[in-house]
Amino acid sequence: MTTEKEKKVKDGSEYTAKSIQVLEGLEPVRKRPGMYIGGTSTEGLHHLIWEVVNNSVDEAMAGYGKEIIMRLMPDNIVEISDHGRGIPVEIHPQTKKSTLETVLTVLHAGGKFGGNGYKISGGLHGVGVSVVNALSVWTKAEICRDKKIYVMEFERGVPKTNEPKVIGKSEKTGTKISFQADPQIFPEIKYNWEKILAYVRHQAFLVKGIHIKVYDEREAGKEKAYGFLFDGGLTSFIKFLNRGKEIKNEFPFYVEKEDEKTESVVEIAMQYTDSYKEHIFSFANNIFTPEGGMHEVGFRTALTRVINSYARKNNILKEKDENFTAEDLQEGLTAVISVKLRNPQFEGQTKAKLGNGEMRGIVSAITAEALNDYLESHPNNAKAIIGKCLLTNKARIAARAAKDAVIRKGALEGMTLPGKLADCSSKNPAESELYIVEGDSAGGSAKQGRDRKFQAILPLRGKLVNVEKTTLDKVVKSDTLKPIIIALGAGIGDSFNIEKLRYQRIIIMADADVDGSHIRTLLLTFFYRYYEELINRGYIYIAQPPLYRIQKGKDVQYVYTEEEKNIAVDKIKIALGKNKEQKKNAKKEESQEKENIVMETDEDDEQKDTEEKSLGINIQRYKGLGEMNPEQLWETTMDPGNRLMLQVSIEDAEAADKMFDVLMGSEVEPRRRFIQTHAKSVKNLDV
């Protein structure tokens, strides 16, 4: 018999002390991994590596051991070793356990809180290696310290022994951590070689003289090895970022200085190129801060003030001229800002923004003094930088005038939206979507087939401008891009305001041929250069129209690839009792009896088409969107219940920027090399 109290506990209506579950040790990490590593996707998986690598980098920054070795091994085993001091193994006074076990099993345990173990460190949450231990099938720590080699092993965060075992002697010091990520936590365990190299490369740039070696030993016969060692530090980083670009100031600006009062270290490198985009990478204690923060604000403030002062002093800016704005100094700027401080305060769980207010003044003062000396000591480089800023200033003023003219013209004609835009009735951006459609024919079908409530259609006419080779004033005057800018409603350049965006799904819909691919690339370049925030928010999509329509009787299906078509046709043939494979094999055997060789000719395709027609299978290949009637376009490409779309994202902004430079920029040689390298990998080129 169930009592009333028991019934309440079972159905959850009673909330008592017994309702509260207490997770001990590393249980919270396994229960809610997203709180510690951001999720269990590929980002979270790689975060395990970053945590261990950061510990080794912290040792190097503290001056202990300049070499770090990482190995990716079979069965998803990762091994990272350094020549630092080695994690202490003696009994910890608080936990009464080995310090090694404490570091690997207790959250918020580490040498980075009291200031004695590390003056500066990146692993500030103190949960690093313990989280790796918690989320791995097994972890093994091998420590060289006090002329001995200690080993301790763990299974899903639980130690296999009461204390570290001594397994030998060594004159060296260091730490080696090996682990195997847990498939119970991560749905897919697949380490990305390029992603790892990019992260490690950044660490090597940020710590001068550190030597990091990475080995990929996952597949026998396909081993890879890479090493990083940059004595130039951030200067090397700047040159790496600007490779293949036309440089304005050949001699990069560089400063490294410690603020004596706070013991913070500021290191900055800067160079201008002919690019139309700004590239600023900021770091705090080697942690990338994509949203900037006080260190970046301090740098920008000093840059604007010093450049204006130098231009006035040298009569480059006349009395009647306005000062350069911060925007004038952004175009073509490549800068890396790295600060190292004792107690950084990050905004948000992901450490995306540095919040220490004192760093604004420190960075500003150090930058201003060093930049002023740089401009005075390198007049030719100073002239090149200010020349670039003057061009940007003139282009900005021209762009503003052109943009205002566009808006005024629209207002005079009694319309604020382009005439060829078939807008949707909804005024809610969250549910509204804009289809940018190639050609009038496809645009007509899209207008007839759409859902008028939330789908707007903008057909493209004329030649698209390659924004990689032109300035903003020409972009806003473009007959093809101007309607897109006005339709989006969010402005462009200094007037961009995402709150005014009229659609939160912008869908590029072009033919599946070479011309369509070119249009997609030009539009993606446009959005990346002037509307990167739309990509970052996931608002840009690419429609995926079908390649074939297959009909047998009343049954109709759409397929998107040649392979899908073959599978679909084979299934129909099997259902009809016509086994294509048996016929094909019989034909091969007959050919081999005659000449002992199998030839593939055009006749094979003709035979196949004849066979499919004889079976009543009708296959229609869509060469363009214009070949679809409105009903077909809606059913396959525009109906939210059936359509297939690709969401555009930027996993690595640095790599994306470099690729746009290569594919769409003015330099021919990098593009030629890219084509020569990848030409053989192109399949089914439709020209």
**pLDDT digit string, tens, across residues 663-682:** 665 555 665 665 656 555 54
Least confident of 183-187, 302-306, 651-655: 651-655
pLDDT of residue 1: 46
The model's confidence at residue 653, banded by pLDDT at 50, 70 and 90, is low
Number of domains in the chain: 3
Among candidate residues 186, 202, 229, the one where a domain is terminated: 229
Do 433 and 492 share a domain, yes or no?
A: yes
Q: Any idea what the CATH number is for the domain that residue 47 is in?
A: 3.30.565.10
pLDDT of residue 663: 61
The residue that leads in pLDDT, 683 or 322, is 322
Do 68 and 182 share a domain, yes or no?
A: yes
Alpha-carbon gap, residue 109 to 138, rounded angstroms: 20
Report which of 294, 234, 296 is spatially closest to residue 268, judged by C-alpha positions. 234
Do 137 and 169 share a domain, yes or no?
A: yes
| Domain coverage including residue 486 | 417-545+647-681
Domain assignment present for 6: no
Among candidate residues 229, 246, 265, the one where a domain is terminated: 229
In this predicted structure, the answer to whether residue 166 has a pLDDT above a threshold of 60 is yes
The model's confidence at residue 169, banded by pLDDT at 50, 70 and 90, is very high
Alpha-carbon gap, residue 462 to 470, rounded angstroms: 17
pLDDT of residue 435: 95
pLDDT of residue 351: 65
* Three-state secondary-structure class, residue 572: helix
Among candidate residues 229, 263, 287, the one where a domain is terminated: 229
CA 7, distance to chain mean position in Å, is 51
Do 97 and 199 share a domain, yes or no?
A: yes
Distinct helix (H) and strand (E) counts, the chain? 22, 24
pLDDT of residue 150: 96
Do 506 and 520 share a domain, yes or no?
A: yes
pLDDT in tens, 61-77: 888 889 999 999 999 99
pLDDT of residue 555: 86
Domain assignment present for 575: no
Do 276 and 225 share a domain, yes or no?
A: no
Q: Which residues of 477-491 are buried (b: 16+ CB within 10 A; e: fewer)?
A: bbebbbbbbbbbebb
Do 168 and 100 share a domain, yes or no?
A: yes
In this predicted structure, the answer to whether residue 218 has a pLDDT above a threshold of 90 is yes
Q: Any idea what the CATH number is for the domain that residue 295 is in?
A: 3.30.230.10
In this predicted structure, the answer to whether residue 597 has a pLDDT above a threshold of 90 is no
Do 670 and 538 share a domain, yes or no?
A: yes
Domain assignment present for 405: no
- Region 7-29 average pLDDT: 51
Domain assignment present for 493: yes
Do 37 and 169 share a domain, yes or no?
A: yes
* Three-state secondary-structure class, residue 459: strand
- Region 429-448 average pLDDT: 89
Alpha-carbon gap, residue 670 to 333, rounded angstroms: 21
* Three-state secondary-structure class, residue 34: helix
In this predicted structure, the answer to whether residue 600 has a pLDDT above a threshold of 70 is no
- Region 605-611 average pLDDT: 58
pLDDT in tens, 78-100: 999 999 999 999 988 888 889 89
pLDDT in tens, 112-154: 444 455 555 554 334 478 899 999 999 999 999 999 999 999 9
The answer to whether the CB of 529 falls within 8 A of the CB of 277 is yes
Do 272 and 215 share a domain, yes or no?
A: no
In this predicted structure, the answer to whether residue 214 has a pLDDT above a threshold of 70 is yes
Residues in the chain: 687
Domain assignment present for 495: yes
Report which of 257, 504, 526, 283 is spatially closest to residue 367, judged by C-alpha positions. 257
Alpha-carbon gap, residue 485 to 403, rounded angstroms: 10
The model's confidence at residue 18, banded by pLDDT at 50, 70 and 90, is very low
Do 212 and 245 share a domain, yes or no?
A: no
pLDDT of residue 587: 55
Give me the chain's average pLDDT, please: 82
pLDDT of residue 651: 65
Q: Provide the greatest CA pair distance for the chain.
A: 96
Alpha-carbon gap, residue 189 to 193, rounded angstroms: 13
Domain assignment present for 125: yes
Domain assignment present for 663: yes
pLDDT of residue 6: 45
pLDDT of residue 259: 94
CA 512, distance to chain mean position in Å, is 26
- Region 108-115 average pLDDT: 51
The answer to whether the CB of 38 falls within 8 A of the CB of 97 is no
Question: Virtual CA dihedral for 344, 211, 171, 126, nearest 10 degrees?
Answer: 20
Domain assignment present for 214: yes
Strands 287-288 and 279-284: antiparallel
Least confident of 137-141, 188-192, 252-256, 658-662: 658-662
The pTM of this model reads 0.68
pLDDT in tens, 571-596: 888 887 755 555 555 555 554 444 44
Q: Any idea what the CATH number is for the domain that residue 423 is in?
A: 3.40.50.670
Alpha-carbon gap, residue 395 to 386, rounded angstroms: 14
CA 348, distance to chain mean position in Å, is 19
Least confident of 229-238, 616-625, 626-635: 616-625
In this predicted structure, the answer to whether residue 426 has a pLDDT above a threshold of 80 is yes
Least confident of 74-83, 173-182, 394-403: 394-403
Query: What is the share, in percent, of the chain residues with pLDDT greater than 90?
Result: 44
Catalytically annotated residues = 438, 511, 513, 515
pLDDT in tens, 515-546: 788 888 889 889 988 898 999 899 999 998 88
Alpha-carbon gap, residue 657 to 239, rounded angstroms: 15
Do 277 and 223 share a domain, yes or no?
A: no
In this predicted structure, the answer to whether residue 346 has a pLDDT above a threshold of 80 is yes
For the chain, the distance separating the N- and C-terminal CA atoms, rounded to the nearest angstrom, is 79
